[in-house]
Each structure stands twice: as C-alpha cells, then as structure tokens.
C-alpha cells in the first residue's frame, strides 16, 4: 500500500522539473494529483506521463481568478484537498544594479504573493490532517550574487511556514518548507543560452556542493513525499534542505 493511498493532492507548477517529479511520485504512492502551470502544451505532456490518476488545470498562480477557478474545479470533482505543494516559481538572475520594478513585481507576484493566495484559497477545501509543503530554496539563507529578489521571495516563503504553522494548527493542517539546493531541472537550462554554458553552470554548482553533484528532481520529490505524508506527522514549521549539504556544511 502506498504512503498516500486515497489522498487528493495539488502540485502547482506540476508540469515540469521538481513539481512534475513530485506529482509522479505522489501518484505512485496512491494519490490523485491536480497539477497547474501556465503553458498548456507542457501540462498536456505532463498529464500523459502521470496517467489517469492526475489532471491539469491551466492557470497562473499570480492571477487570483485562476486560483478561484482551480479550486472550484477541485471542489466540484473531488470535494477536498489533503495535500498542497505550493511549488510554482520563477528565477530570473538579476543583480541589484539591474533590478527593475518590473522584475521585482514579477518575481514577488509569482513566488510570494501567488504562493500566499494559493494557500489561502485552498483552505476551505483542506482536510483536518492535511499537509502543506511550500517550496522555498537554500538561497533564502545564502547571499548568492544575482539571486537577490528571488532569494528574498524564498525568505518570505520560509517565514510564512512559521506563521501558518500556528495559524492553521486548529484546522489540523501542518505547514513545512522544502528548500532545494541546485537541482538539474529546466530552470537551470533556461538560465543559459547553449548546452555548453549549461554544463559549465552544472560544474560550478557541483563544485559548491559537499556531495559533489547537483540534485535530481526525484530526490526533491522524495523529501516532498515525506513532508506530505503521515511519516512526518510530528514535523511542523521546519525548513528541510535538499541540497547535498550546501547550506549546512
């Protein structure tokens, strides 16, 4: 029997990378999974991989109407949510000097504001005993050049997990943060123009990681499974780094 048998899960940004690996793992463990994302073609490809125990609802987490539509669909079809993984996020490398108001607003709108309303609007459907996993980043506690605005959004996410752990206690909902280190996903490729540049980036990340390599989306999905399942029933308000020791050693 799987660890999530009969559970209803939502994974935002479930069409790619960490979110897709998490959705696939949850379905393997017996859950039904709703995934979201903006690009329909990516969602279609993901659902083809996930199979009959998943479906996609196209939408942008920074648009409140899209979130309302997502939860209306889930409410009508399943009536509840047991697990929410707020994973959607963007990263646009930008130094302080180059930061524009548009970059700031876009990054905060998706990574921080979008995440807040993803959680707030899910609450009426969340079950007692439910688990919320917020995907942050080890950059929330590091000073990485070019990651300033992104890291600030992830520090906000980590902070929300602390407050919401207390605020949602009486609803029987646990909240935890998961902080990946450098993980080899399309997010990394999107940062570089050529395959050679992507390999250089991978090499420089690997050199900074005590385990000597980047992580895989599946390794982050294993940690998400732990936080989502009853295996972590007495774990609340934490930040779980999945980073090959990068933020710890």
Ligand X SMILES: NC(=O)c1ccc[n+]([C@@H]2O[C@H](COP(=O)([O-])OP(=O)(O)OC[C@H]3O[C@@H](n4cnc5c(N)ncnc54)[C@H](OP(=O)(O)O)[C@@H]3O)[C@@H](O)[C@H]2O)c1
> What are the catalytic residues?
150
Least Cα distance to 247 among 179, 196, 195 occurs for: 179
CB of 59 to ligand X, least distance (A): 6
Residues 6+ apart with CB under 8 A from 170: none
Instruction: Annotate each residue in 119-138 with x if it binds ligand X (CB under 6 A) or - if it does not, as one string.
Output: ----------------x-x-
Q: Determine which residue in the list 27, 85, 91, 227 makes contact with ligand X, applying CB under 6 A.
A: 91
Are residues 61 and 46 in contact, defined by beta-carbon separation less than 8 angstroms?
A: no
Are residues 2 and 228 in contact, defined by beta-carbon separation less than 8 angstroms?
A: no
Q: Determine which residue in the list 7, 8, 17, 225 makes contact with ligand X, applying CB under 6 A.
A: 17
The C-alpha atoms of residue 169 and residue 194 are separated, in whole angstroms, by 47
Which alpha helices (DSSP H) does 61-147 contain, by range? 64-77, 101-108, 114-122
The C-alpha atoms of residue 91 and residue 150 are separated, in whole angstroms, by 6
Dihedral, CA of residue 118, residue 123, residue 127 and residue 131, to nearest 10: 40
Interface stretch with ligand X, choices 55-63, 72-80, 93-101, 223-231 (CB under 6 A): 55-63
The C-alpha atoms of residue 96 and residue 176 are separated, in whole angstroms, by 30
The C-alpha atoms of residue 6 and residue 31 are separated, in whole angstroms, by 5
CB of 124 to ligand X, least distance (A): 20
Does position 54 bind ligand X by CB under 6 A? no
Give the nearer residue to ligand X in terms of CB position, either 140 or 169.
140
Does position 78 bind ligand X by CB under 6 A? no
CB of 80 to ligand X, least distance (A): 22
Scan residues 18-47 and list those touching ligand X (CB under 6 A). 18-19, 36-39, 42
Scan residues 175-214 and list those touching ligand X (CB under 6 A). 180, 182-183, 185-188
CB of 5 to ligand X, least distance (A): 26
- Applying CB under 6 A, the site for ligand X has a residue count of 31
Question: Which residues would be at the binding site for ligand X (CB under 6 A)?
Answer: 12-13, 15-19, 36-39, 42, 60-62, 87-91, 110, 114, 135, 137, 180, 182-183, 185-188
């Amino acid at each position: 029997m799987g660890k999530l048998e009969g559970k209803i899960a939502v994974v935002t940004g479930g069409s790619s990378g960490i979110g897709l690996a998490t959705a696939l793992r949850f379905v393997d463990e017996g859950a039904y999974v709703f995934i979201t994302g903006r690009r329909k073609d990516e969602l279609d490809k993901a659902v083809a991989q996930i199979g009959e125990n998943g479906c996609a609802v196209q939408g942008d987490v920074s648009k409140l109407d899209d979130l309302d539509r997502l939860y209306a669909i889930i409410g009508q079809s399943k009536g509840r949510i047991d697990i929410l993984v707020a994973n959607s996020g963007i990263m646009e490398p930008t130094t302080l000097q180059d930061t524009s108001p548009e970059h700031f607003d876009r990054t905060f709108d998706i990574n921080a504001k979008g995440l807040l309303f993803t959680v707030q609007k899910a609450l009426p459907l969340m079950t007692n005993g439910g688990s919320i996993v917020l995907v942050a980043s080890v950059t929330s506690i590091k000073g990485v050049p070019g990651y300033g605005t992104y890291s600030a959004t992830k520090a906000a996410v980590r902070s929300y997990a602390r407050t919401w752990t207390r605020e949602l206690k009486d609803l029987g909902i646990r909240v935890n943060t998961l902080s990946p280190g450098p993980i080899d996903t399309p997010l990394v490729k999107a940062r570089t123009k050529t395959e050679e540049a992507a390999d250089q980036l991978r090499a420089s990340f690997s050199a900074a990681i005590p385990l000597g390599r980047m992580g895989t989306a599946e390794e982050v999905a294993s940690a998400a499974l732990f936080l989502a399942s009853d295996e972590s029933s007495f774990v609340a308000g934490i930040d779980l780094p999945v980073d090959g020791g990068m933020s710890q050693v």
